[in-house]
Structure 1
């Protein structure tokens, strides 16, 4: 099926491993095979609301058993990026425990007073007061960082405004565009590769979205697998100016490649 040897794996979570809390076909077996063969791997998500511990518990309830250290969120990637940029810096953060915990564990001080960065993440309760504070801090010189560019997020009632939408409002008020760390920025993939000490030449990315997972995988130099269990359908692939290395029905097709 493939010419390049695959020694390490990166995989998206929603639409690849799970859908609305239920494991997708082949997902438990895929992760079990990775662990049994001691393959380096990380599960990636742009969701910055939850900690890796939270997500590990959510995956476990769907029958997918992964260690906490095998989950890489946009919040963790953002915290790592800031730690590399300004070690021991400070940030004003808008987000949930996934973001604030990651920043704290990266050695960052969370403050409303002259922070190095304003960091915008996902939350279900965006506060007008907090957004106003962020705008004033950015105008005062703080650098503007966002965990991910997603403009909407899912809920049972329908789409919710997400980080990208709120970032656009802050940009309109400040004239400052943020740096987005999460997918489709290949920065998130490179930080993931560093996390598991893997090389792009022998790593594959499994995703369900052409516009985030596949394009970022290509830009990071990875072999890419598009699964058709999520956002992108087979008929959509030809609409893009780039192509995944392989298109498969589901992650069940990849268990034997591990």
Structure 2
């Protein structure tokens, strides 16, 4: 298709470059074409369960993509950047998996169950009721409540499964406190990512499969957007979207970098 040329790209992963454990060949080709053209990109994911190094290895092993560690920016890294900006005491209670915990603890934060400065909530497939209790009580006691990302569902081979946003909503209901959301489509992760790319927003394209997170990242933050209908948002939904993406393709082979 004929389109504007962009100097840099923000690119979602799951549903865009791959789907769960399934390959999306057009997604792989898209990254290879950007690399061949020397166009900078940042892989921008709300997934907090894996560290950037694990993401990098998975892209290599499963999806035929070699990419620099610096090209991967997760909601975990953005959460740490935000916490550092706030500058509160470095104590935290985390509902989340290793990717999130490693990023936060490596930044010098200490686990605190009773009276932490922060409660950070993300996807945790080993979630227990006691974890919800500890998070709720800490927030009642004044902890700053951070949600890594608002994704209510995750696309998988089995269908749409509960995401971090569903857990955050549960704790918001129990505490009557709204979480500060870090991940797409919020401004926090977007501004950090734009800064890392180093271009004006008018020169950047946001690429993703999920209208509610990826495409709203562009719409809400003044960045052009490309919706690819290989994951969350289906082709039949496109005509009914409240604000249209800048571009829509059925697969990324249709996009001219």
TM-score normalised over the length of structure 2: 0.91
Report which stretch shifted further, 22-31 or 216-225. Answer: 22-31
Give distance in 1, aligned partners of 2:159 and 2:153. 10
Partner of residue 86, structure 1: 87
8 Å Cα contact 1:88/1:107 also seen in 2: no
Structure 2 residue ranges without an equivalent (≥5): none
Alignment of 1:1-258 (within 5 A): 1-3=2-4, 5-60=5-60, 61-86=62-87, 89-154=90-155, 159-254=160-255, 256-257=256-257
8 Å Cα contact 2:15/2:155 also seen in 1: no
TM-score normalised over the length of structure 1: 0.91
8 Å Cα contact 2:14/2:155 also seen in 1: no
* Root-mean-square deviation over aligned CA pairs: 1.9
Cα deviation, residue 58, structure 1: 1.5
Measured against aligned partners, the alpha-carbon deviations of 1:193-212 in whole angstroms (never above 9, x if no partner) come to: 12232321100011112221
- Give the length in aligned residue pairs: 255
8 Å Cα contact 2:155/2:232 also seen in 1: no
Cα deviation, residue 154, structure 1: 4.7
Cα deviation, residue 113, structure 1: 4.4
Cα deviation, residue 151, structure 1: 2.3
Measured against aligned partners, the alpha-carbon deviations of 1:139-178 in whole angstroms (never above 9, x if no partner) come to: 1110111111222335555554332222222222221111
8 Å Cα contact 1:149/1:180 also seen in 2: yes
